[in-house]
Amino acid sequence: MTESTATLAAVSGRPYGPSKLKLSIGKDITNGNMLTLLFGSFFGIAMMGFVNASQPYLFTEVLNVPLEEQAALAGNLTFLSEIVVILTIGIAGALSDKIGRKPLWAAAFFIFCIGYFLYPLAESVEQLTIFRMFFALGLAMNTAMLPSVINDYAVDESRGRMIAVCFMLNGLGFILLLTPLRLLLPVFEGLTDGDPVMAARLWLWTPSVVCLIVSTVLLIGLKAGAPAQLDKREPMLATLKVGVAAAKNIRIAFAYFTAIVARGDMAVLSTFFVLWLTQEGIAAGMPVGEAAGNALKFYILIQVFALCWLPILGMILDRIDRVAGVALAMLLAALGYTSLYMLDDPLGPKMWFVAVLVGMGEMSANLASLTLIGSEAPVKGRGAVIGLFSLCGAIGILLIAKFGGMLSGTYGNIAPFVLIAGANVAVLVAALIVWKIAPSKQTEKAKLA
């Protein structure tokens, strides 16, 4: 495909959806293809995240893991899962360029289906670890295919809005799917006459069925065939060199640093929050199922508050220097995680206020870091720069999973949140320095004017 043809293809499209959204999609994309993309977006994050949320109940009631060992186990499971993702996500992306997105995205949810079926059947920590690493193959495929399909279907004139719509559906799906799943646990405990093993199986087999349905819909509704490639794919090492070379720009190098901590913010919540609050409930005398349900409730509320804060945050970030935006985000995140440490009663009414702070902080850290790298990455080599940014994010997940789990064994389950709060403060200080010594081009122009 010539450059002029590629440019024409990028701007030609047809309107889709409500006129206020001003969305445009490729002319070869049917309404059914788009509805399938939106459908998959709704289920993506929820089906990836529920596996962590279900673990405290499995650890306590099925595998009888001692409470003091559970945080380290959760960290190790996340660590090993992320290793699998790092090793396979590039292969998944390359393979999808050859055979198309449809079979791989459908396969991701089919793997989730099998994973959720197997998870409550584990009879040992070793079996659970194997099942979790298998589940991670689905994580890699889903993580790679969702943005790939979005970019395949969108045209340049509305690419940003299309991504925003799909990510809003991610958040809504997380809230609207995990809420009923939380409420089903006590129902299944009643149906099984208090048998926790059978209750756990019924509980996790529910998302297993959901994932099978989603896989089938994706296999039917997505556009068939491999996407057209504008350029020959660069070898992985060459791509990495481009991303590293771009770090000569101090703002890009700083963005890589923010990715480590921003993704750590997400990982500390998904890995340790429900576990910590579940154990607080057990210590207060709650039955395990009730404690797990209460913890999951607040985890969902954090995402609700994050979603509500999203449009306000977007307006703020568009009006200030991107690095200043990171500084603000890290301040909010540090306040949120520090407030968890300061709580005298995590099960009391103050947790509602703290959940607001944590949700705002988590969303701010991630959106500010993405906004920074998106504005600083050069047009030529943007994929390589954002790819290295994503790799740094994966490293952040590995670090918080490993060290958070280790510290929790020594200092208690609140330790991972103290660790990430300190990391947020470190990025805040670095942001103030970078903002001073490397202002954006727009800021420099404003000073000259």
Question: What residues pair up with 15 in beta bridges, in sequence order?
Answer: 24
Helices 31-57 and 288-317 sit at what angle, rounded to 10 degrees?
130
Tokens of 199: 């209750």
Instruction: Summarize pLDDT for 40-91 with one digit per residue, the tens.
Output: 999 988 999 899 889 999 999 999 999 888 888 988 998 899 899 888 877 7
> What pLDDT sits at residue 447?
43
Dihedral sign computed on CA atoms, order 55, 61, 66, 67? positive
Nearest by Cα to 76 from 404, 366, 420: 404
Token pair 């010539």 is found at 2
Question: Sorting pLDDT into bands at 50, 70 and 90, what band is 159?
Answer: low
Instruction: Give the integer Cα–Cα distance in Å for 55 and 75.
Output: 11
**Comparing 164-173, 267-276, 381-390, which segment has the lowest mean pLDDT?**
381-390
Helix (H, G, I), strand (E, B) or coil at 307: helix
Question: What pTM was computed for the model?
Answer: 0.78
CATH 1.20.1250.20 range(s) for the chain read 28-222, 235-438
Q: What is the CATH number of domain 235-438?
A: 1.20.1250.20
Nearest by Cα to 88 from 78, 96, 100: 96
CB 328 within 8 A of CB 303: no
**Which element (helix H / strand E) includes 36?**
helix 31-57
Instruction: Give the integer Cα–Cα distance in Å for 59 and 128.
Output: 10
Nearest by Cα to 309 from 244, 357, 248: 357
CB 446 within 8 A of CB 434: no
Indicate the residue type of 435: W
pLDDT > 70: what percent of the chain?
Answer: 89
> What pLDDT sits at residue 7?
43
**Comparing 9-13, 47-51, 208-212, 277-281, which segment has the lowest mean pLDDT?**
9-13
Nearest by Cα to 61 from 353, 288, 387: 288
CB 271 within 8 A of CB 367: no
Task: Give the CATH fold of the 28-222 domain.
Answer: Growth Hormone; Chain: A; (1.20.1250)
Nearest by Cα to 368 from 264, 262, 268, 439: 262
> What pLDDT sits at residue 237?
54
Instruction: Give the integer Cα–Cα distance in Å for 321 and 315.
Output: 12
Q: How many residues are listed for the chain in this entry?
A: 449
Tokens of 395: 């490293």
Instruction: Give the integer Cα–Cα distance in Å for 80 and 87.
Output: 11
What value does the mean pLDDT take over residues 252-260? 91
CB 85 within 8 A of CB 394: yes
Instruction: Give the integer Cα–Cα distance in Å for 396 and 420.
Output: 10
What value does the mean pLDDT take over residues 99-125? 94
By the 10 Å C-beta count (0-12 exposed, 13-18 middle, 19+ buried), 216 is classed as: middle
Instruction: Give the integer Cα–Cα distance in Å for 67 and 72.
Output: 10
